[in-house]
């Protein structure tokens, strides 16, 4: 018959949300520029951008879920969705590589920044650094435990144990919230503020962006938990949960590098706060 589907690919219907998402991203970045320059109406522009992005995420992802339920996510489509998630995580890895690169550049060649850091690392302006074997070590254990619980949830789903899936997701979400709370407490009691020298700037940018990724991953898992209660996932088709689990493991691995490089090695020889 004319128009009959004789392939495994999913032909997307016309959708307005990619355009709205692009315009919202432009509005958001414009609002950030206005905010950084303390220009009028920056909060209005920034707020509109954030609201547009949230609406885009909710509506676009809802459409993807509906496509999955309609049977459009064939094995071929699921494979390509996995390729897309792998490339997304690879781009996130390179994002953090930039922060690690700057950290190593500052730490290994402090003499090139003698006028800024006093030719030493940590800089002379940093009287004390975070004790890596206090709250950072606690957060490391928390994230390692959360990696275990999300794996428990994944294996439960594969074996048809929906109760184990929900419990594993609940445990992972709670651990993510605890991690974020501990990091916020650490920031509030930090012996140095943001900016002023390369150490504090690189420290807050690297750990702060990681904290943002933990927050995004926690929201990702909350959505998966809601979908689990609605019975959306099956042992054979659960890419939405699988993508969330991959993202969470990525967050775990990045934190291990941050703990070793920034907290332990980066503050070696300095006084602990």
14-72 and 74-265, same CATH topology: no
d(CA 173, CA 179): 10
User: What is the pLDDT averaged over residues 197-206?
Assistant: 88
Give the pLDDT band of residue 272 (cuts 50, 70, 90): confident
CATH fold label, 74-265:
1.20.120
Question: Which of 153, 145, 205 lies closest to 176 in space, CA to CA?
Answer: 145
Tell how far CA 258 is from the center of its chain: 14
Q: What is the pLDDT of residues 118-130, one digit of tens each?
A: 567 788 778 888 8
Question: What pTM did the predictor assign?
Answer: 0.88
Q: What is the pLDDT of residues 136-185, one digit of tens each?
A: 999 999 999 999 999 999 999 999 999 999 999 999 999 999 999 999 99
Which residues, listed in sequence order, are joined to residue 272 by a DSSP beta bridge? 129
What is residue 112's predicted lDDT score, i.e. its pLDDT?
A: 60
Q: What is the pLDDT of residues 36-50, one digit of tens each?
A: 888 888 899 999 999
d(CA 7, CA 76): 10
Which class for 74: exposed (0-12), middle (13-18), buried (19 or more C-beta within 10 A)? Answer: middle
- Write out the CATH class of domain 14-72: mainly alpha
Q: Classify residue 9 by its DSSP letter.
A: -
Residue ranges covered by each domain of the chain: 14-72, 74-265
Which class for 159: exposed (0-12), middle (13-18), buried (19 or more C-beta within 10 A)? Answer: exposed
Cβ(251)–Cβ(210) below 8 Å: yes
Q: What is the pLDDT of residues 75-105, one digit of tens each?
A: 888 899 999 999 999 999 999 999 999 888 8
Helices (H) and strands (E) in the chain, counts: 8, 0
What is residue 123's predicted lDDT score, i.e. its pLDDT?
A: 80
Q: What percent of the chain has pLDDT over 70?
A: 94
């Amino acid at each position: 018959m004319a128009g009959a589907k004789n392939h495994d690919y999913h032909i997307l219907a016309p959708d307005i949300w990619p355009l709205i998402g692009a315009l919202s991203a432009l509005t958001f970045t414009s609002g950030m520029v206005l905010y950084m320059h303390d220009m009028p109406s920056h909060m209005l522009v920034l707020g509109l951008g954030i609201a547009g992005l949230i609406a885009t995420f909710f509506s676009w992802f809802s459409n993807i879920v509906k496509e999955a339920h309609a049977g459009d996510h064939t094995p071929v489509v699921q494979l390509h969705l996995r390729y897309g998630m792998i490339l997304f995580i690879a781009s996130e890895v390179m994002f953090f590589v930039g922060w690690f690169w700057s950290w190593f550049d500052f730490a290994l060649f402090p003499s090139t920044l003698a006028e800024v850091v006093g030719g030493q690392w940590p800089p002379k302006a940093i009287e004390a650094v975070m004790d890596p074997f206090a709250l950072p070590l606690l957060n490391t254990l928390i994230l390692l435990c959360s990696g275990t619980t999300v794996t428990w949830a994944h294996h439960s789903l594969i074996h048809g144990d929906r109760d184990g899936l929900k419990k594993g997701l609940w445990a992972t979400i709670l651990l993510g919230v605890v991690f974020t709370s501990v990091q916020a407490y650490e920031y509030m009691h930090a012996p140095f503020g943001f900016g002023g020298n390369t150490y504090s700037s690189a420290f807050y940018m690297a750990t702060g962006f990681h904290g943002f990724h933990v927050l995004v991953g926690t929201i990702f898992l909350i959505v998966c938990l809601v979908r689990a209660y609605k019975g959306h996932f099956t042992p054979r088709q659960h890419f939405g949960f699988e993508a969330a689990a991959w993202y969470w493991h990525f967050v775990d691995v990045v934190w291990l590098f941050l703990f070793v490089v920034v907290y332990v090695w980066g503050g070696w020889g300095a006084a602990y706060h």
